[in-house]
Chain A
Amino acid sequence: MALEVDIRLVQPGFELKLAYDFSDQGITALFGASGAGKSSLLRVVAGLEPAARGRVVFGGEVWQDEQIFVPPHKRGVGYVFQDARLFSHLDVLGNLHFAARRSRSSQFDNVVQTLDLAPLLARRVDGLSGGERQRVAIGRTLLSDPRLLLMDEPLAALDHNRKADLLPYIARLPAAFGLPVLYVTHAVEEVARLAEQMVVLAGGRFLAAGGVGETLARLDISEASGKFEAGAVVRARVVAQDEKFMLTRLEVAGQPLSMPGSQVAMGEELWLRIRARDVALALERPVGVSIRNILGGVIVDITTEEHTAFAEVLLDIGEDQALRARITRASVAELGLVCGMRAYALVKSVSFDRRVLPKMV
């Protein structure tokens, strides 16, 4: 484990308290609602919160404990801020040089190429679009030759298309620069697209952690993501392209599933996100309904939401995969749903997110 954190940060009306060992491989998502303490945690790791108490150790090197506090500029941490924070008194090239001069990085050409920065070099910072600013900010951070990359919602200020443009650049970073990345976000899409591991925070506390698929599928993260976003991520394999009906046929936990045709190769492994509110339950495999995607499984958990009409049911569909269904408490009572009972999840085809993309491995 590369980054060990055991810290406490008290601010007016907020306390962050967390002990966790982060992976030094690939992208780890720090996930949670706003105010969960994600950004504060990044700031503590970067050394930007001197008021934080506790221990921060990276690669066996103590950055902070009772006696030691390594200042931020000596930690070798790259920090990509939500608002880019480019230096407005320098042009793009000047911003990149600011970092490269101090790290003596030899990666200049590599970074400029990876992030397509060449056309921007002579531009003024003020004239850049949001997406361009973030690309420059990421490039600048990489040129500081960091050992650990912290990204604080780098896409939050961008519109949907700009996000989609920038995602592939970010996904490439760990492999291209051999860097572990801690990526703060509250968007499930970004987690599913970028991260292998995730850590979920809520109210300044650890809530859950693990592989992205399992963690997103677990019920208890709904507090962090909000009810609306609650859902499950499942692994699927492409088995056929149906030209006639314009459908892509997939297999999830050995069960068939189809979604509107998309440009994916046969045999390819995909992650799909299925929102809890798009899943209905039936006790027997229904016939005579328009819904085509019906997955059988066993109910393993039922959580009723206090003071609402709703409950969430976790359905094990095999191969360690699970779906979540958000149904009314009245339905739970009427159908007599209990744990261990066999049930069928009715998933609307149209609910598959077009943005769900192939998983980078």
Chain B
Amino acid sequence: MSWPDLAPLWLSIQLAAVTTVLLLLVGTPLAWWLATTRAKVRPFIEAITALPLVLPPTVLGFYLLIFLSPNSAIGGYWRDVTGTTLTFSFTGLVIASAFYSLPFMVQPLQSAFEAVGRGPMEAAASLRASKLDSFFTVAVPLARRGFITGIVLSFAHTIGEFGVVLMVGGNIPGQTRVISIAIYEQVETLDYAQAHALSLILLIFSFVVLLAVYTLNRRAPVRVG
């Protein structure tokens, strides 16, 4: 068995890392809003956030392909500004992955923020802490297990994505050829040895990640400060 080409694995890790950071930035305020709002639109936003859980990746990928293509408003604007296209590019993959993995970041965070509740935030406000201050010094540390779960699941889910990538990104080595696509192609070309190697790596990786999540969730809360 020859040593597999690890470039797709490395690309998957890069994609998952960038996507996870992006999701932290977008998902945290969204989850906080969902956990604290009494607005009537909340169920609608929750349903939209959860859509990637039930939609076939091909459906999600199809719509993203349409919205990101240079013929659409968003894709066209992007091409005019940057001179590149969103479809079949790494940037496009990041955007697609962010939508695809959104519920895996937002749902653990939302539950964690709901568990924190109003009590500690009101106490912080009465101790002269502004909303932003209270958020970072009280809500985030109290919700840290939600953050750990959200980060790990988003990362792992993005590593494992296939359908959306295939629709939006295609199979461009170094650009959009992530590990799942590489395995698919290897199987198609009957290169079972390479497929075995990459699949085993992915299997072990996924198991270790899930094991870490469940272990962390069982352990007593880690103390900060």
Contacts and interface: CB of A to CB of B under 8 A. Distances in A.
Interface of A: 46-48, 71-74, 76-79, 81, 83, 85-91, 94, 98-99, 102-103, 124, 140-141, 144
Given A88-B142, A90-B225, A141-B127, A98 B137 contact: yes
User: Main SS of the interface on chain B?
Assistant: helix
A231 B141 CA distance: 49
A83 B120 contact: no
Contacts of A91: 223, 225
A141 B224 CA distance: 21
Given A48-B125, A73-B129, A87-B138, 6 more contacts: A73-B131, A73-B133, A78-B127, A79-B122, A141-B126, A144-B128
Among A47, A87, A88, A141, residue most surrounded by chain B Cβ atoms (within 10 Å):
A87
B119 interface: yes
A89 B128 contact: no
Interface residues of B, number: 23
B125 A72 contact: yes
A79 B128 CA distance: 11
28 contacts: A46-B126, A47-B125, A48-B122, A48-B126, A71-B131, A72-B125, A73-B124, A73-B127, A73-B128, A73-B130, A73-B131, A73-B134, A76-B128, A77-B126, A78-B127, A81-B122, A83-B119, A85-B122, A85-B123, A86-B123, A87-B138, A88-B221, A89-B221, A98-B137, A99-B128, A102-B133, A103-B128, A144-B128
Interface in B82-126: 119-120, 122-126
Contacts of A73: 124-131, 133-134
Interface of B: 119-120, 122-131, 133-134, 137-138, 141-142, 144, 221, 223-225
Nearest to A85: B123
Contacts of A78: 126-127
Of B129, B134, B224, the most chain A CB neighbours within 10 A belong to B129
A265 to B, nearest CB: 40
A144 B225 contact: no
A interface SS class: mixed
A71 B127 CA distance: 12
Contacts of B129: 73, 98, 102
B127 A99 contact: yes
Q: Which of A73, A83, A86 has the most CB of B within 10 A?
A: A73
Nearest to A74: B128
A224 B128 CA distance: 34
Contacts of B223: 89, 91, 124
Contacts of B137: 98
A318 to B, nearest CB: 45
A103 B122 CA distance: 17
A72 B224 contact: no
- Going nearest first, the 10 A-B pairs with the smallest beta carbon separation are A79-B126, A85-B123, A72-B125, A89-B141, A102-B128, A144-B127, A99-B127, A73-B125, A85-B119, A73-B128
Contacts of A81: 119, 122-123
A272 B114 CA distance: 47
Contacts of A71: 125, 130-131
B123 A79 contact: yes
A140 B144 CA distance: 23
Contacts of A87: 120, 123-124, 138, 142
A102 B138 CA distance: 14
Contacts of A141: 126-127
